[in-house]
Amino acid sequence: MASTSLTSCALCQAKASQLCAACRNVVYCSREHQKEHWKKGHRAECKCFEIATNEVLGRHLTATRDIKIGEQILKESPLVLGPKVASAPLCLGCHRNLLAPENPRGNYHKCSSCSWPLCGKECEDSVHHKAECQLMSGSNFQSKINYVPGEEERKESAYCVIMLLRCMQLKAKDPEAFLRLDTLEDHLKERLETPLYQVLRANLITFIKTVLGMKDWLEMDILRIAAILDTNTFEVRQPRERRKIRALYPGAAMISHDCVPNMRHRFDDDMNIVFLAKRRIAKGEILSISYTQPLRSTIQRRVHLRQAKCFDCSCARCQDPEELGSFAGAQTCLKCKAGKIISLNPLLNSAPWKCQLCSYKRSAKEVVTSDAELQQELESLDKTTPVALEEFIYRHRADLHETNTHILQAKYALTQLYGSAPGFAMEELSEESLNRKVQLCEELLTLADIFDGGWSIFRGNLLIDMEEALVTQALRSKEPVECEEKLRNAAEMLREIRNIMKHEPEMQQLLLERQVILNSALERFEPLEN
């Protein structure tokens, strides 16, 4: 148990007071002894969480001490990584998206042994590609993925075999690593009934056992590995490196989902997954991230989780018919025009919906159908300018209240478009549009505090948009007092943004530019504390 009353150095037993800042379970007499103890084994046990088990969550992680906001909780390297089930052409060595060949009539570089597309000859010897290459070339299989000049980038289903093979080859290459993979949840029984797994059984199993000659593998064992991957992998996005793949992290796979999570995650340059505390986490609290989008309603989130992860969420937000006071899933009552229609039991998909204020009811089927139609309408809109989204909000002003999920999604898209869309650049915005951007940011920040508060990326992005809009308003203002107030607010926001984004390298240049612009604005007026 963590304790600041520990007095003996963990290495030499001398009197000590320097507490290990990460786990707070040991103390040292010097920095040198802390480094030495780390090398001798403390590295493996130094953590601020432990594995727990219960009937609802199964294995999960809980905090063993109080954790500060912004603190790094876990960093883990991938056990295995590779293409998604359907992927745009990518290199199997470095996993970068393959750009069109410089020669318009050319093709991707092909591996000299198996013909899978690669960046170049240097990637043929990649540790990621070598084993699968030997297997396929030894079976006389040659990839037929080619670049077609003038054709739009398309996803190739052939990539579905790659990550599966990499996991299967672990069994002989690294039995201990395979054991870590084999202990993960699979939900195979539920997945076998889906169209995807029917296709896998028909095509993938035949390819692996017949074409590649892996006859010793049982069909269900192969499908179980596929199910483990679908249940536990994380999507890794590194835009600067042109990577969009998936990776398996056994430790991270034990982290629970919650629709109002206390952690966020990111990936470093080596594709390690890093978890950070979005807010203060108390000792004993379950560590959680979210696999869904915060502005989605309970219906949408639970359907997505059931389809993608094969579980039904019963977190505090999902249990609450009012969604923590946001009413994100509710629609305006068409009978009394004043109340909101909410589910009588959000955890029961077939439960009826009823107005809070009158007797009007709707069946679950009606609500789900209506919700799907509205989502489809929203997703079909032109999102290159704010016009269609504003029309959507106005068109549904009678049936959808201001914090309904569809309205919230439209509003968030608008915060991105006002200031960046053609004809709506920040310097071109009318006063009305600029004020609208600020209003939308304020409304969504209020909701962010409920759904995705603290140091979340969602909240950080909203603050960036808000700060830019406030500085623009200040520079246009002819009232010194109003200008000073807006710049002061912008300076406070930028300080908070720096805290939220300090672990996001790709954001640092933007924040530097925002600081330069703010400093320039401040120089025009009375100096403010910055």
Cα distance between residue 118 and residue 98, in whole Å:
7
Residue 34 pLDDT > 90, yes or no?
no
pLDDT for residue 41:
67
Tell me phi and psi for residue 46, to 5 degrees: -85, 100
Nearest to 392 by CA among 382, 54, 197: 382
pLDDT digits (tens, 9 = 90+) for 308-321: 999 999 999 999 99
Tell me phi and psi for residue 441, to 5 degrees: -60, -45
Coil vs helix vs strand at 136: helix
Asked if 111 and 133 touch (Cβ cutoff 8 Å), the reply is yes
CATH 1.25.40 correct for 327-525 = yes
Residue 87 pLDDT > 90, yes or no?
yes
Q: Which two tokens stand for residue 40?
A: 């001798």
Residue type, 506: E
pTM listed for this prediction: 0.88
User: What is the share, in percent, of the chain residues with pLDDT greater than 70?
Assistant: 95
Side-chain-facing half-sphere of 156: CA atoms under 13 Å: 20
Cα distance between residue 316 and residue 20, in whole Å:
34
pLDDT digits (tens, 9 = 90+) for 254-273: 999 999 999 999 999 999 99
pLDDT digits (tens, 9 = 90+) for 240-250: 899 999 999 99
Reported as a pLDDT band with limits 50, 70 and 90, residue 36 is confident
Start-end ranges of CATH 1.25.40 in the chain?
Answer: 327-525
Average pLDDT over residues 420-427: 91
DSSP string, 154-207: --BGGGGGHHHHHHHHHHHH-HHHHHHHHTS---HHHHTTSHHHHHIIIIIHHI
